[in-house]
């Protein structure tokens, strides 16, 4: 398949190594060739995105609960940057609080996904995200 | 506010002023009455005196005229000659005497006697002459008068010596008499105010004759009497003769009656004037006071101006109004001061409350996010370990892994419940809630459990409409009915939902015949995460009743449990109307 022939760059912004590990496992088990770039806070994420040397990611997975600059701030920064705002950002958060969801969409998040408790559900959620953003959206190009 | 007429200040002032006025009116009126009565009595007396004098003068004028006529006759030569000329007596004197007897239209009778008093000629032969008395008068050569009486009453008799020309000595007398009643009759024309009489004293001092001018003077009926003597210029009388004039008491009384009416009228008018004036003055005073009273009783700090207390003038009432106004101003200032301070305090409290709420919200957020993240990590990696060790673990280790997983699951449930507890009363909208509807919704949500337990649920009607959040109210009933379903006993489950009017509150009751609650735990069960039973007996975190209590107390009600006769539990809670 066309989708399987190419590789996708994915930037994961996540300070929790456990959750980052779960994402890695889910991606490894998925059907896409994904190059995972993992940063642990907002500053590193923005530095990566603005670095000419580093690849422009096809998707950003953003946790909200970050050390220092919060996920919402990072989201706002990305979506107010003319260069970066076309990169799709999926907020992946433990929070189910309505205010976090509303705020994320208000700041320009392309999607909001709560981290499921169960590992199988978690893997499935990552696969749904991959499928949507790497296949469905790409087909529309 | 109206004061009864009797206790009004104006009434009292008018009453006091009227009493004082009445006192002075009586005092001056009485004085005037006494003085004027005396004056009138004196005036009437003077009037009577004058009348008596006038009448006496008239009588004396008449008598003087008669006396003068006879005196002239006595000097007439015809009379003197008659003393010696017995022929001439009959011829000339007789007709002359007959003529003069009608002197001044008075029926006098005249007699000529000799020096011994023997009658020579008489106008009327019936006239009796006291010869001795006449002889004495001739002997003295003096005119004499005496009082005679006959059937007509008293008569004045006068003996006039007649001078014989040749001897130039009195040789005889002209004796005449005049009925005094006729004199009185002549002089009684032109009647005055009073009733009069001529009183004539006889020779004897005790003998008096009363000759009335008209009506008879009765001293009992006419107590006011004036007397004037009849004075003759040509003759001195050996008896008293005076005119007495009297009036009836009624004459005086009429004047006094008029005076009394006049004084009473003036007194009444004066008293009335004082009453009216004092009423007006009193009303003026009390109107100001009433205005102050109504201003004070309807005064509102927000709407009214303190100028409502200000009164014109500089009297005590105006001062009172001024004092009110300044008091109100001070009160107003104090009130505003207090209001400002309480506002500050209140806004401090509100700010504290808001901060505390924000902190609570932050706690809830942290709990939901930060506590669950590591929990998920544990749970996820346990699963991954299990997967990688699949088939390699001994049964004991597999059991341990199950304990770890169920602990994590329970921890997650606890966090979820804690969040639910902290969210009670947040993001709710209070509106009228039909309890009957809320109960039906709760029963619908619990449908599966109700079917499973085959419970008989009866809902009393009518159920009221109260203020609250519809979702929360439904959850409240859902928790209570859910508890009844969960903690059921061996007998068929019966649940009764009812409501009672407790005056200020509604009291709701959810009663079951389940396993019941030991009285010693009746209070404990409403605490957070308090459980009475092992998890493997009845599952649950123990947050349900704590949430119920928070919902009930949020509206100012309270919740408690009572044992039922069948051993079940009856949950009661109140909700202010």
Position A2 scores a pLDDT of: 46
How many residues does the structure list for chain A? 141
Residue A1: pLDDT band (50, 70, 90) is very low
Position B522 scores a pLDDT of: 87
Whether pLDDT at B496 is above 90: yes
Task: Give the model confidence (pLDDT) of A37-72 as tens digits.
Answer: 999 999 999 999 999 899 999 999 999 888 888 899
Taking the C-alpha atoms of residue B406 and residue B345, their distance in angstroms, rounded to an integer, is 50
Position B303 scores a pLDDT of: 66
Taking the C-alpha atoms of residue B186 and residue B58, their distance in angstroms, rounded to an integer, is 9
Chain A positions touching B373 (Cβ under 8 A) are 16, 19, 65, 94, 115
Binary contact (A16, B377; C-beta < 8 A):
yes
Strand-pair partners of B30 = none
Chain A nearest CA to B368, separation (Å): 6
Chain B positions touching A22 (Cβ under 8 A) are 377, 380
Is the CB of residue B525 less than 8 Å from the CB of residue B473? no
How many residues does the structure list for chain B? 577
Chain A positions touching B369 (Cβ under 8 A) are 64-65, 93-95, 97
φ, ψ of residue B575 in degrees (nearest 5) = -140, 115
ipTM of the complex: 0.77
Interface with B, mutate which of A18, A28, A98 (most B CBs under 10 A): A18
CA dihedral (B115, B117, B121, B122) in degrees, to 10, reads 150
Is the CB of residue B78 less than 8 Å from the CB of residue B92? yes
Is any Cβ of chain B less than 8 angstroms from the Cβ of A65? yes
How many Cα atoms sit within 13 Å of B424 on the Cβ side?
22
Among A30-34, B140-144, B384-388, B558-562, which range has the highest average pLDDT? B558-562
Per-residue b or e along B507-544, where b marks 16 or more CB atoms closer than 10 Å to that residue's CB: ebbbbbbbbbbeeeeeeebbebeebeeeeeeeebbbbb
Strand-pair partners of B156 = B147, B178
Taking the C-alpha atoms of residue B39 and residue B35, their distance in angstroms, rounded to an integer, is 6
Chain B residue at shortest CA distance from A99: B365
Q: In the structure encoding, which two tokens stand for residue A83, read together?
A: 């260069």
Is the CB of residue A9 less than 8 Å from the CB of residue A58? yes
Q: Which member of B373, B381, B383 has the closest CB to residue A94?
A: B373
Is the CB of residue B512 less than 8 Å from the CB of residue B565? no
The dihedral sign for the CA sequence B554, B557, B559, B564: negative
Task: Give the model confidence (pLDDT) of B310-354 as tens digits.
Answer: 777 778 888 888 888 888 888 888 888 998 999 999 999 999 998
Binary contact (B372, A94; C-beta < 8 A):
yes
Taking the C-alpha atoms of residue B490 and residue B513, their distance in angstroms, rounded to an integer, is 10
Chain B positions touching A122 (Cβ under 8 A) are 376, 380
Taking the C-alpha atoms of residue B162 and residue B84, their distance in angstroms, rounded to an integer, is 12
% of chain B at pLDDT higher than 70: 95
This prediction's pTM: 0.46
Interface with B, mutate which of A63, A98, A119 (most B CBs under 10 A): A119
Whether the ω angle into residue B2 lies within 30 degrees of 0, i.e. cis, is no
Q: What contacts B59, CB < 8 A, 6 or more positions away? A: B183, B184, B187, B198, B230, B241, B243
Q: Are strands A59-62 and A7-13 parallel, antiparallel or unpaired?
A: parallel
Whether pLDDT at B151 is above 90: no
Interface with A, mutate which of B357, B361, B375, B376 (most A CBs under 10 A): B376
Which strands, in side-by-side order, build the sheet including B195-201? Answer: B208-212, B195-201, B241-247, B224-229
Any alpha helices (H) in A1-141, and if so which ranges? Answer: 2-5, 17-29, 42-50, 71-79, 98-106, 119-130, 137-139
Q: In the structure encoding, which two tokens stand for residue B153, read together?
A: 């009453």
Task: Give the model confidence (pLDDT) of B517-567 as tens digits.
Answer: 888 888 888 888 888 887 777 777 888 899 999 999 988 899 999 998 888
């Amino acid at each position: 398949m066309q989708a399987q022939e190419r590789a996708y760059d994915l930037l994961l912004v996540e300070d929790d190594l456990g959750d980052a590990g779960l994402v890695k496992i889910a991606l490894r088990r998925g059907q896409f060739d994904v190059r995972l770039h993992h940063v642990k806070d907002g500053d590193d994420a923005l530095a990566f995105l603005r670095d000419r040397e580093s690849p422009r990611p096809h998707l950003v997975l953003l946790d909200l609960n970050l050390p220092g600059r919060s996920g919402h701030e990072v989201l706002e920064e990305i979506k107010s940057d003319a260069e970066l705002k076309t990169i799709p950002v999926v907020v992946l958060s433990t929070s189910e609080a309505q205010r976090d969801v509303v705020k994320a969409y208000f700041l320009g998040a392309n999607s909001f996904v709560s981290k499921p408790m169960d590992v199988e559900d978690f893997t499935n959620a990552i696969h749904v995200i991959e499928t949507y953003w790497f296949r469905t959206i790409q087909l529309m190009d | 506010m109206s004061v009864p007429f009797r206790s009004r200040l104006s009434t009292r002032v008018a009453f006091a002023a009227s009493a004082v006025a009445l006192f002075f009116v009586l005092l001056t009126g009485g004085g005037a009455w006494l003085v004027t009565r005396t004056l009138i009595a004196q005036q009437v007396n003077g009037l009577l005196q004058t009348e008596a004098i006038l009448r006496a003068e008239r009588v004396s004028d008449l008598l003087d005229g008669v006396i003068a006529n006879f005196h002239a006759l006595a000097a007439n030569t015809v009379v003197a000659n008659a003393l010696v000329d017995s022929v001439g007596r009959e011829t000339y004197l007789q007709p002359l005497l007959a003529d003069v007897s009608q002197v001044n239209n008075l029926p006098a009778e005249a007699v000529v006697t000799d020096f011994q008093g023997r009658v020579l000629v008489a106008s009327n032969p019936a006239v009796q002459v006291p010869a001795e008395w006449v002889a004495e008068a001739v002997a003295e050569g003096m005119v004499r008068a005496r009082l005679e009486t006959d059937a007509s009453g008293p008569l004045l008799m006068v003996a006039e010596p007649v001078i014989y020309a040749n001897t130039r000595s009195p040789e005889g007398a002209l004796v005449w008499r005049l009925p005094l009643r006729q004199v009185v009759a002549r002089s009684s024309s032109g009647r005055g105010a009073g009733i009069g009489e001529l009183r004539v004293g006889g020779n004897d001092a005790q003998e008096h004759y009363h000759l009335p001018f008209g009506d008879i003077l009765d001293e009992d009926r006419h107590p006011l009497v004036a007397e004037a003597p009849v004075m003759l210029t040509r003759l001195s009388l050996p008896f008293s003769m005076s005119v007495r004039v009297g009036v009836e008491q009624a004459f005086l009384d009429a004047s006094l009656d008029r005076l009394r009416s006049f004084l009473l009228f003036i007194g009444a008018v004066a008293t009335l004037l004082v009453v009216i004036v004092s009423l007006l003055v009193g009303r003026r005073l009390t109107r100001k006071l009433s205005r102050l009273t109504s201003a004070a009783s309807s005064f509102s700090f927000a709407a009214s101006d303190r100028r409502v207390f200000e009164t014109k003038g500089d009297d005590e009432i105006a001062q009172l109004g001024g004092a009110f106004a300044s008091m109100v101003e001070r009160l107003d200032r104090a009130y505003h001061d207090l209001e400002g301070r309480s506002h500050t305090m209140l806004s401090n409290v509100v700010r504290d409350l808001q901060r505390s709420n924000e902190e609570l919200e932050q706690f809830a957020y942290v709990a939901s996010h930060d506590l669950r993240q590591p929990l998920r990590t544990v749970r996820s990696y346990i699963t991954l370990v299990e997967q990688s060790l699949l088939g390699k673990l001994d049964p004991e280790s597999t059991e341990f892994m199950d304990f770890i997983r169920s602990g994590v699951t329970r921890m997650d449930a606890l966090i979820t419940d804690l969040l639910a507890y902290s969210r009670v009363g947040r993001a709710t909208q209070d509106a009228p809630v039909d309890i009957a509807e809320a109960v039906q919704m709760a029963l619908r949500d619990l449908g599966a459990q109700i079917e499973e337990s085959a419970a008989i649920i009866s809902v009393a009607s009518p159920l009221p409409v109260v203020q609250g959040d519809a979702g929360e109210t439904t959850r409240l009933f859902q928790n209570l009915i859910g508890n009844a379903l969960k903690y059921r006993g061996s007998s068929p489950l019966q649940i009764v939902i009812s409501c009672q009017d407790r005056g200020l509150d509604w009291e709701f009751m959810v009663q079951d015949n389940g396993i019941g609650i030991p009285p010693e735990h009746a209070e404990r069960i409403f605490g957070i995460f308090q459980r009475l039973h092992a998890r493997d007996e009845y599952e649950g975190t123990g947050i349900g009743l704590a949430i119920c209590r928070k919902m009930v107390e949020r509206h100012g009600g309270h919740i408690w449990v009572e044992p039922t006769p069948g051993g079940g539990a009856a949950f009661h809670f109140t909700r202010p109307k």
